[in-house]
Amino acid sequence: MLSGIRSLTSREKNILRLAVLLALVIGLSNGVPVIREIYYERALTIEALRSEIAREQRLVENTELWQQRRSDIDQQLNTLDARLFTGNGNAQGTTPTVPVLAANIQRLVRQHAQETGVTITSTSLAESRDTQGWLLVEQTLSFNLDNQRNTMDFLARLDASEPWLAVSYFSMRRTRNMYTGEITVVGFGRTSAAAAAGD
């Protein structure tokens, strides 16, 4: 092949050189943008991989934090569930009706009253509200006691009770050698719809 090139005339050699130069220019003009595009795409891929690796590392580092948060939320849910009134006899998995919830509230208030020296003298008709799957029952009871100090113990027991009894109204007055008063307590339960949604 070299002997064939040597046998070319000077004009043919110039044409061949021009053709090689032209091929080189065309190759460079078409090849450089392709190479740039490949390099740019590679750089983007590397950057995306670095971001993904950093995100995965953050997730691994935060795993313990998220597990602790999950545990805290589960504990809060268990605490809240323990504060709700459920169905008959507070059996888990059943939903309360207004009469059952009112009876459970009265029973629990009477139990705390008896333990603290407070006598329940009468109860009024329970009032209820059912909103978006939650049942609220409000029960007003009249009481009397002979030692005023028993009141704080009685209220503390109501606040600490499970299911929880919120006190929405309290009044007390002295009559001769006794104290009489009224207390309104509120109990909460979930109706069938809310219980199903929570499961």
CATH number of the domain that residue 99 is part of: 3.30.70.60
> Which stretch of DSSP H or E encloses residue 158?
helix 150-160
Quick one: pLDDT at residue 195?
47
Q: What pLDDT digit, counting tens, does each position of 58-95 carry?
A: 888 888 888 888 888 888 877 777 778 876 544 445 56
> Is residue 115 located within the same domain as residue 66?
no
Q: Are 106 and 186 in contact (CB under 8 A)?
A: no
Give pLDDT, residue 21.
82
Same structural domain for residues 122 and 194? Answer: yes
Of 28, 61, 79, the last residue of a domain is 79
pLDDT, mean over the chain: 82
Q: Which tens digit of pLDDT belongs to each residue from 125-169?
A: 888 888 887 888 898 999 998 888 888 999 999 988 888 888 999
- C-alpha distances (whole Å) from 191 to each of 69, 93, 126, 130, 150 are 28, 11, 17, 8, 35
Give residue-wise pLDDT tens across range 103-118.
888 899 999 999 999 9
Residue type, 147: N
Share of the chain above pLDDT 90, in %: 20
From CA 154, how far away is CA 118, in angstroms rounded?
Answer: 8
Query: What pLDDT was estimated at residue 28?
Result: 73
Q: Which of 26, 52, 79 is the last residue of a domain?
A: 79
DSSP label of 126: P
Count of CB atoms situated within 10 Å of the CB of 183: 24
Same domain, yes or no: 140 and 160: yes
Residue 56 has pLDDT above 80, yes or no: yes
Residue-by-residue DSSP string for 13-80: HHHHHHHHHHHHHHHHHHHHHHHHHHHHHHHHHHHHHHHHHHHHHHHHHHHHHHHHHHHHHHHHHHHH
Instruction: Give the Cα separation of 66 and 69 in Å (integer).
Output: 5
Q: Which residues constitute the domain of residue 118? A: 86-198
Please give the model's pTM, rounded to 2 decimal places.
0.56
Within this chain, do residues 45 and 104 fall inside the same structural domain, yes or no? no
Residue located via tokens 């589960």: 74
Residue written as tokens 């929570």? 198
Say if residue 164 is in the same domain as residue 126.
yes
Mapping DSSP to helix (H, G, I), strand (E, B) and coil, where does residue 113 land?
helix
Query: 3-state DSSP: the chain helix, strand, coil percent, rounded to 5?
Result: 60, 25, 20
From 188, 168, 195, 190, select the one nearest 105 (Cα to Cα).
188
- If asked whether residues 10 and 51 sit together in one domain, one would say yes
Q: How high is the pLDDT of residue 169?
A: 92
